[in-house]
Amino acid sequence: MQMPSYEADKQRFAHADAQVLGISVDSIPCHVAWAKSLGGISYHLLSDFHPKGDVCRMYGSWREDGGFSNRDLFIVDKEGKIAYIDRHELLDQPNNEELFDVLSKM
């Protein structure tokens, strides 16, 4: 899972003046249980549960055929504009170094 690597790199994200936010179509109780299973996480998780997938649809990440979202990474700048999109297959593990490279150029 990619989300634990964000936790491991939280100081680097803070140094880059970046905030990590997780979004999935899982319910809040699922998020709480998942975070607890990892020993806790320090960033916020958004539950795009009801109406299911609305945020994912707005970002073009919704998979209608599966009823869940793609594994997509977005960097949103301080003006609220999408500055970077990285789309991955569900089983691919994105590399945080790519994110830090983009953040260093902003």
At residue 92, does pLDDT exceed 90?
Answer: no
Give the residue-averaged pLDDT of 80-95: 89
Q: Nearest 5°: phi and psi at 37?
A: -65, -20
Question: What value does the mean pLDDT take over residues 62-83?
Answer: 92
Alpha helix stretches (DSSP H) within 16-83: 28-37, 54-58
pLDDT, mean over the chain: 91
Confidence class for position 2, pLDDT limits 50, 70, 90: low
Amino acid letter, residue 98: E
Mean pLDDT throughout 27-42? 92
Asked if pLDDT for residue 69 goes beyond 80, the answer is yes
**Cis status, amide bond into 51, omega within 30 of 0:** yes
Q: How far is CA 44 from the centre of its chain?
A: 10
Question: In this model, does residue 84 exceed pLDDT 70?
Answer: yes
Structure tokens belonging to residue 58: 């707005």
